[in-house]
Amino acid sequence: MTTVADLREQVRGPVIEPGQDGYEEHRRVYNFMHDRRPVVIVQAVDTADVVAAVGHARDNGLDLAVRGGGHSVPGFGTCDDGVVLDLSRMNNVFVDPPKRTARAGGGATWGDLNHATHAYGLATTGGIISTTGVSGLTLGGGIGYLARGCGLSCDNLVGAEVVTADGRILSASDYANEDLFWALRGGGGNFGVVTALELGLHDVATIYGGPLFYEVEDAAAVMASYRDLIQDAPEQLGAFFAWQIAPPLPFIPEDRHGDLFCVMVVCWSGAVDEAENAIRPLRDVAPVKAEHVGPMPYPALNSAFDGLVPRGLQHYWKADFVRELTDDAIAAHIEHGKRTPVVNSTMHLYSINGAPHRVGREETAVAHRDATFAAVIAGMWPDPADNEANISWVRDYYAAIHPHSDLNGGYVNFMSGDDAGRAPENYGRNYERLRRVKTAYDPHNLFHLNQNIEPMA
Ligand SMILES: Cc1cc2nc3c(=O)[nH]c(=O)nc-3n(C[C@H](O)[C@H](O)[C@H](O)COP(=O)(O)OP(=O)(O)OC[C@H]3O[C@@H](n4cnc5c(N)ncnc54)[C@H](O)[C@@H]3O)c2cc1C
């Protein structure tokens, strides 16, 4: 057993207890639905701090919440009566141009990573919001603008440093602890604390992209056109469909602010003069009512929507993969999308094909390599008094589209806390192998605040 006083002597970063400066701010995560009170928050500055915090939780039988970017919708980055290990100070990113890799600290965000790699004209697949953590997003899979050409985020992981439950510091790659490396690419935070990730980079600097807004009446045609286009479009084209209540932005006519639209967000990472040709079908399918599409630095698109989803909202999400987006599924989307209740809430429909399909379903922990779309109904709203109505919108929408999912499972990073029971279907045939790796590296399930893969008895 160690006391918090012992812990303070072992670590260099701040150790914050209830009542101390910063406790109220740092006990909370991005999703303010979770109002939890840990006994101590360790803001690690290096791997040695992580080893000490893991040991403190383990030896005292305390829950351990590992926080990268803190964006987990189920609030896995905080806990009641346990230890929060906050990695946000470990956010340095070092780029190795000859190797075309970046080594990111376990607490780096996509904003941190893009900032560092853009200086070299390089990027890799990350999420669409820059405040999300590189670790949590990559360890769960990682879907983003560049995925069709560059693979999922986890497909770009070439190595990691991991602190395991017993306090060892391990390297994981194709050449060291290969079973752990396999599991890290999709298996989430189940196996240890990732203190650093090494990610492969691609030549992406200026992209041509942004949102195209259409009338809701055209949504079925827009979604169908997206489905047809994206099947065999050049892999430099990334795109997703979204519902969006128009925020008061200058490119949207003032009299339409507050109206619901359907939106295609596009990101063309090929030659700029070929961009309009690539997105032509999306322009031709229906009149575009507002748009903000053009050449821009990749980090600009990656942070363009951050303002719509500030820290402190309430979040409740549901998600599924589909292999085939049928017309009946589109009809269900339209019926519920039309009722999108608030400017922050949306449904995003991400396409998954191209590079992610060239990775075998047993090559990484991500099992559903035959999914072609990932739908996420992302309920996000400011006032806890509106929880019931907003959660109902998400649940009703999900109930309507779920029967149209021809795949049993969804993307682990889009799951809510009440989806914990879906882990076996989300991992499909990789689930039993993940359990074996879990048993080898974390037999007592110290790392259980995640979409948990239970060790074998
Ligand atoms: C606004 C928003 C936008 C999003 N957009 C996308 C998107 O475009 N694409 C996409 O794929 N996903 C997206 N997501 C989902 C996102 O991938 C998950 O929420 C992810 O878990 C967030 O990672 P994090 O590090 O920020 O979260 P955290 O809450 O810090 O962590 C999430 C999980 O990962 C574990 N974890 C985090 N860091 C480490 C580490 N260093 N070592 C070990 N375990 C760790 C945590 O313990 C926890 O279980 C989005 C989420 C939000 C809220």
348-367: per-residue pLDDT in tens? 999 999 999 999 999 999 99
pLDDT at 457 over 90: no
Average of per-residue pLDDT values in the chain: 97
pLDDT at 305 over 90: yes
Q: Determine the residue of 27, 87, 112, 137 to mutate for testing ligand 1's pocket, defined as the one with the most ligand atoms within 8 A of the Cβ atom.
A: 137
The CATH fold of domain 206-416: Vanillyl-alcohol Oxidase; Chain A, domain 3 (3.40.462)
pLDDT bracket for residue 72 (50, 70, 90): very high
pLDDT at 257 over 90: yes
Closest Cα to atom 9, ligand 1: which residue?
127
Please give the pLDDT value at position 221: 98
Cα distance between residue 121 and residue 114, in whole Å: 10
Closest Cα to atom 28, ligand 1: which residue?
70
Residues of the chain with pLDDT > 70, as a percent, come to: 100
Cα of 273 to ligand 1 centre, how many Å? 35
Is residue 296 a contact partner of residue 210, using CB atoms and an 8 Å limit?
A: yes
Closest Cα to atom 17, ligand 1: which residue?
137
pLDDT bracket for residue 312 (50, 70, 90): very high
For the chain, give every residue range classified as CATH 3.30.465.10. 93-203
For domain 93-203, the question of CATH label 3.30.465.10 is answered with yes
Please give the pLDDT value at position 1: 83
Please give the pLDDT value at position 311: 98
pLDDT bracket for residue 384 (50, 70, 90): very high
Measured CA distances, 218 to 56, 139, 338, 406, 423 (Å): 56, 37, 11, 25, 36
Please say whether the dihedral angle defined by the alpha carbons of residues 41, 46, 47 and 51, taken in this order, is positive or negative: negative
Q: Determine the residue of 78, 132, 351, 449 to mutate for testing ligand 1's pocket, defined as the one with the most ligand atoms within 8 A of the Cβ atom.
A: 132
Closest Cα to atom 34, ligand 1: which residue?
136
CATH of 12-86, one of 3.40.1190.20, 3.30.43.10, 1.10.10.10, 3.30.1490.20: 3.30.43.10
Q: Which residues line ligand 1 (CB under 6 A)?
A: 29-30, 66-73, 76-77, 87, 106, 127-129, 132-133, 135-137, 139-140, 142-144, 188-189, 193-194, 309, 413, 449-450
Residue 449 CA, closest ligand 1 atom number: 49
For the chain, give every residue range classified as CATH 3.40.462.20. 206-416
Other CB atoms within 10 A of residue 270 CB:
17
**pLDDT tens, 83-112?**
999 999 999 999 999 999 999 999 999 999
Please give the pLDDT value at position 172: 98
Q: If you average pLDDT over residues 8-35, what whole number do you get?
A: 98
